[in-house]
Amino acid sequence: MTATPTTPTPSATTSTTPPTTGTCSAYSRIEAESYSNQSGIITQATSDIGGGQNLSSIANNDWAHYKGVDFGTTRATQFVARVTSGATGGASGLVEIRLDSLDTAPIGTFAIANTGGWQSWQTIPANISGVTGVHNVYVTFTS
Applying CB under 5 A, the residues found at the interface with Ca ion are 31, 52
Cβ proximity to Ca ion, 54 vs 143, nearer residue: 54
Residue 47 CB, nearest approach to Ca ion (Å): 11
- Judged by DSSP in three states, 16 sits in coil
Among candidates 47, 39, 42, which has minimal Cα distance to 5? 42
- Judged by DSSP in three states, 137 sits in strand
Residue 124 CB, nearest approach to Ca ion (Å): 15
Residue 50 CB, nearest approach to Ca ion (Å): 7
Cβ proximity to Ca ion, 48 vs 70, nearer residue: 48
Cβ proximity to Ca ion, 48 vs 96, nearer residue: 48
Report the half-sphere exposure of 49 (CA within 13 A, side-chain side).
8
CB-CB contact of 67 with 140 (8 Å): no
